[in-house]
Amino acid sequence: MNPNDPNRVIIFDTTLRDGEQSPGASMNLAEKLEIARTLELLGVDVIEAGFPVASVDDFNAVQAIAKASTRARICGLARSLKGDIDRAAEAVKPAGDRARVHVFLATSAIHRTFKLNKAKDEIVKQAREAVAYAKTLIDDIEFSPEDASRTEPEFLAEVVQAVIDAGAKTVNIPDTVGYGYPSDYADLITYLRTHVKGIDRAVISVHCHNDLGLAVANSLAAVRAGARQVECTINGIGERAGNCALEEVVMAMRVRKDQFPGITTGIDGQRLYGASRLVQSITGLPLQRNKAVVGDNAFAHESGIHQHGVLKNPECYEIMTPASVGVPMTNLVLGKHSGKAAVEKRLQAMGVSVTDADMPKLMEAFKALADRKKEVYDGDLIALVEEAVRGKTLAVWSLDWIHSSAAAGAGAGAAALATATVRLSKAGEAVIDAATGDGPVDAVVKVINRICGIEGTIEDYRLRAVTKGGDAQGEVSLRAKLTANGQEVSVGGKGLSTDIVHASAIAYLDAVNRMGFQVGRLDYRTAANG
């Protein structure tokens, strides 16, 4: 990071501090260290590792991250109180000259009146003294006037002037409650740049919340106005509606170079997708499918018009390549809006040949199936080819019934033992078997593997409620690594049920059947022979 480069935007990640403040997003030490390592590999300049005075665990986590870090600046948050500052400075000290303490104090009228009960001159004095004291412990000090976007500009400039004179190297202008509007927020940055003497001695930072869905827009407007540090989180997680999403603000500046001429960051875009999935997995906070840049649908196309355009030239409908953010590939989703071009492309990828004369028959069968299903999968497509074009009926495994149970181990700390009994049918013949596993789903996987004569494990597993109430249906989406006849494939499956184990069994069996379609494991018989 070159602090003298006027076009370099510093990326300050607060996933481990503000992000963890999302309800349900608490992380343990090992998880925080894993995310911190990922952030360093991603190229984040500053990692706000926590709020050390908040708890012993938070202090230990910040200190551990400071010790383990190799490149990024490690920052600890502190109120404008000596006790907070001491604790933060002690926690980040192992990072050496990469240590930073981030001091904050509210400045808006509503906070001064109802939260702090302090006059303006008291706020200025406390802010100045806090920064000056922190400077005696750590050289790199950042100051935030909390709720800056609702603070009177003249008073905000007075506070910023005081903390810069006291030695703050970075001054953050937070939109704490997401109240800012891009043009107004940019005007506020411009106002400070023109009314604070010596403002060039500090980096202007922005920290925007997403209460009105404007966190990224406000951050981008601030950069255009001269801010050179953006505080953000992976997937935009954070208090209430969240924070500015790191992946969105970085890619917006990268894709729209016409709006951000010469602007650069140190982020390795190809690691964005992996970082997003790691944070989602660790926090358990689901990522909406239509999430910009890293969502499942970010590079997915179902409309036939869009699919045809993407096949001709991806730039028709994609303003960035999947590879540029680490997404494996463009996803041409086959559904009722898909056209012939996408179906032919998918068949070609699977090595299935259909003549021009047979395509109308296949497309008729495809449209009929797509009207009944949200998405047509590879296995479905091959089945259509076999049935509609070649007059064959594929025999697939179906789940007749399942029974599972789990019992606690006998000794202290002993693992629970789960069993599953499953009956599957194929071509009118039923097979029943049972297995044990580390949990009910693991037991189900093992017994299905045995009945179907394959080897398989679950690589990725997601569960979401699709209805509400005590009898809510859960949808399991999984990806399994399956091996049969020496051929290994990675294939997805979905299942829906009011029982999670039952939904998991349906989803895994769905993956097994799709694998059979792809590698020829399934038996089939001609329709003429019954």
pLDDT-wise least confident of 53-57, 169-173, 297-301, 520-524: 520-524
pLDDT per position as a tens digit, 253-269: 999 999 999 999 999 99
Q: Check residue 523 and give its pLDDT.
A: 46
The CA angle 299-301-307, to the nearest 5 degrees, is 120
d(CA 50, CA 88): 9
CA distances from 404 to 205, 350, 399, 494 (A): 55, 36, 14, 19
Q: To the nearest whole percent, how much of the chain has pLDDT over 90?
A: 56
Average pLDDT over residues 169-196: 98
Q: Check residue 396 and give its pLDDT.
A: 76
pLDDT-wise least confident of 81-90, 180-189, 435-444: 435-444
Q: Check residue 252 and give its pLDDT.
A: 97
Sheet holding 455-465, edge to edge: 455-465, 474-484, 487-497
Residue 529 has pLDDT above 50, yes or no: no
pLDDT bucket at 418, cuts 50 / 70 / 90:
very high
Higher pLDDT: 31 or 337? It is 31
Angle between helices 29-42 and 272-283 (to 10 degrees): 170
Residue 287 has pLDDT above 70, yes or no: yes
Residue 229 has pLDDT above 80, yes or no: yes
pLDDT-wise least confident of 79-88, 160-169, 170-179, 445-454: 445-454
For the whole model, what pTM was predicted?
Answer: 0.71
pLDDT bucket at 158, cuts 50 / 70 / 90:
very high
Query: 């044990």: which residue's tokens?
Result: 436
Dig out the tokens for 517 from the structure: 């379609």
Among candidate residues 449, 437, 451, 501, the one with its CA nearest the CA of residue 480: 449
Give 250-258 contacts, CB < 8 A, sequence gap 24+.
Answer: 250/11, 251/293, 251/320, 251/324, 251/325, 252/216, 252/220, 253/9, 253/220, 253/223, 254/320, 255/319, 255/320
Residue ranges and CATH numbers for the domains of the chain are 10-283 (3.20.20.70), 300-390 (no CATH), 398-529 (3.30.160.270)
State the CB neighbour count (10 A cutoff) for residue 259.
Answer: 12
Q: Check residue 530 and give its pLDDT.
A: 30
Residue 395 has pLDDT above 70, yes or no: no
CA distances from 159 to 148, 204, 326, 399, 411 (A): 10, 14, 42, 68, 62
Q: To the nearest whole percent, how much of the chain has pLDDT over 70?
A: 86
Q: Are strands 392-394 and 524-526 parallel, antiparallel or unpaired?
A: antiparallel
Higher pLDDT: 332 or 529? It is 332
Task: Measure the N-to-C terminal CA separation of the chain; round to a whole number of Å.
Answer: 71
pLDDT-wise least confident of 331-340, 369-378, 517-526: 517-526
- Chain mean pLDDT for the chain: 87
pLDDT bucket at 472, cuts 50 / 70 / 90:
low
Query: 């792809």: which residue's tokens?
Result: 518
CB burial class (10 A; 0-12, 13-18, 19+) of residue 475?
Answer: middle
Complete DSSP assignment for 75-126: EEEEESSHHHHHHHHHHHGGGGGGEEEEEEEE-SHHHIIIII---HHHHHHH
DSSP three-state, residue 530: coil
pLDDT bucket at 96, cuts 50 / 70 / 90:
very high
Main-chain dihedrals φ then ψ at residue 40, nearest 5 degrees:
-65, -45
Q: Which residues pair with 464 in a beta bridge?
A: 475
Q: Check residue 26 and give its pLDDT.
A: 81
Q: Check residue 339 and give its pLDDT.
A: 84
Sheet holding 417-426, edge to edge: 398-407, 417-426, 429-437
Q: Check residue 428 and give its pLDDT.
A: 82
Q: Check residue 336 and give its pLDDT.
A: 78
pLDDT-wise least confident of 91-105, 207-221, 376-390: 376-390
Tell me the HSE value of 233 on the side-chain side, using a 13 A CA sphere: 29
